[in-house]
Amino acid sequence: MQAIKPKTFEFEGCKVRVLTAPDGKPWFFIQDVARALQFSADVFFATHPPLWARCRSYDGQMMDESTVSSFVHWPKTPRSYRFMVWLNSMVLPEMNKEVPIKGIGRIPYKSWAQRLQKALDNRAQRKTMVRLR
């Protein structure tokens, strides 16, 4: 069995490791994110037990993208804002280059985003046409 090696990203001098699950979703190491945000993961999860329950990894060492988002919004500091911008502009696009879509298989992220934008544009156009009638 081959060991899974995480991708490593750097945020303001702190390394943040990310693994890709078989379904294509990114999982983050809790201690790396806490270190990057400069606060204790133990304190955070002690005050927010429902989020700890969402860390569905085997050993409680990792959290999924939605938990990271909640984790980042908690401190409300300039650093956490910069982290969220960095996460959405650098890490997630890199990890989601291919997005699995049920029934279609895997398609490149760019064409998936283009299809989504086209569908939204068509929907907006239909709503406009209905209002004009």
Assess whether pLDDT exceeds 60 at residue 110. Answer: no
Q: For the chain, how many structural domains are there in total?
A: 2
Task: Give the predicted TM-score (pTM) of the model.
Answer: 0.63
Indicate the range of 11-25, 75-89, 112-126 predicted with least confidence: 112-126
pLDDT band at residue 1 using 50, 70 and 90 as cut-offs? very low
Hunting for tokens 């490593």 — which residue is that? 8
Domain that holds residue 130: 98-133
| 70 and 10 belong to one structural domain | yes
Assess whether pLDDT exceeds 80 at residue 59. Answer: no
| 18 and 76 belong to one structural domain | yes
Question: What are the residues facing 11 on neighbouring strands?
Answer: 14
| 67 and 50 belong to one structural domain | yes
| 13 and 70 belong to one structural domain | yes
**Strand pairing class (105-108; 14-20):** unpaired
Look up residue 60 and give its DSSP letter: S
| 90 and 115 belong to one structural domain | no
| 75 and 117 belong to one structural domain | no
d(CA 117, CA 113): 6
The percent of residues above 70 in pLDDT, for the chain, comes to 65
